[in-house]
Amino acid sequence: MLASVAATLNPGSLPATAIAHGNRTHLDHIQSIPSRGLCFPLVAPDNRTLNLATTVKCGGKVETRSVRTAVAAVDSLDLAEKEQASNKYYFVVANAKFMLDEEEHFKELMFERLRLFEERNKEQDFWLVIEPKFLDKFPNITKRLKRPAVALVSTNGPWITFMKLRLDRVLCESYEADNVEEALASNPTVINFPEPEKWTAPYKKYESGWWESFLPPKTA
């Protein structure tokens, strides 16, 4: 079974040093398996992790690396990719009237997520930006927006996708910025919604200004 797994990883390259002794199998060496492609340990029938090695060419030099070394290299690469991707921001945007005054579920979703982050001691990664400056990069979006506009911005792409589906009447995109201050920069705008002449719902309307808890922190 183990031999077939190794052969699948690199057909035709299984060496003769893979031999069976009773119920124990030793796979001492496998040649030419790419270290990035092999990123999981193999386990023997008796639950022992096999000491699997791979021979790779690195700048013309032949090196033998263990699976653990290969996995560490892959993890380091993945970490670098994540750090590079940390400059990417995702957002949904709509006019302020819809986002802050008409869509009643939006406030509930925002405060529920804030509560979740506080319980788990997680750093907040989502903000509301009124009249964000980054909208200048998206003329196809701005021409469809009533102003003033409000964007929900986050570094969490899948969550923003969820919010797009949940809110429905919003536009969704992403952009990159060198730092969070640049990413959340906004144009000074006063938001004020008049009280409705007639309120028929059995519950009290949300008070104006509830969104201030989610605005980016002010910088000196």
Q: For 17-61, what is each residue's pLDDT tens digit?
A: 443 444 444 444 434 344 444 434 444 444 444 444 444 444 454
pLDDT surpasses 50 at 138: yes
Task: Return d(Cα 14, Cα 12) in angstroms, integer.
Answer: 6
CB atoms within 10 A of CB 152: 25
The single residue listed with the structure tokens 């790419």 is 34
Task: Return d(Cα 198, Cα 196) in angstroms, integer.
Answer: 5
Q: How confident is the model at residue 90 (pLDDT cuts 50, 70, 90)?
A: very high
For the residues 76-103, what does the mean pLDDT come to? Answer: 75
Task: Return d(Cα 1, Cα 25) in angstroms, integer.
Answer: 10
Query: What is the pLDDT at residue 101?
Result: 87
- Record the pTM: 0.60
pLDDT surpasses 90 at 173: yes
Maximum CA extent, the chain? 86
pLDDT surpasses 90 at 5: no
In terms of pLDDT, which residue wins out, 71 or 173? 173
pLDDT surpasses 80 at 68: no
In terms of pLDDT, which residue wins out, 153 or 199? 153
Q: For the chain, which domains are there? A: 2-84 (no CATH), 88-214 (3.30.70.1860)
For the residues 94-109, what does the mean pLDDT come to? Answer: 90
- Each as own residue / partner, the long-range contacts of residues 139-144 (CB below 8 Å, 24 or more positions apart, any chain) are 141/93, 141/171, 141/173, 144/171
pLDDT surpasses 90 at 115: yes
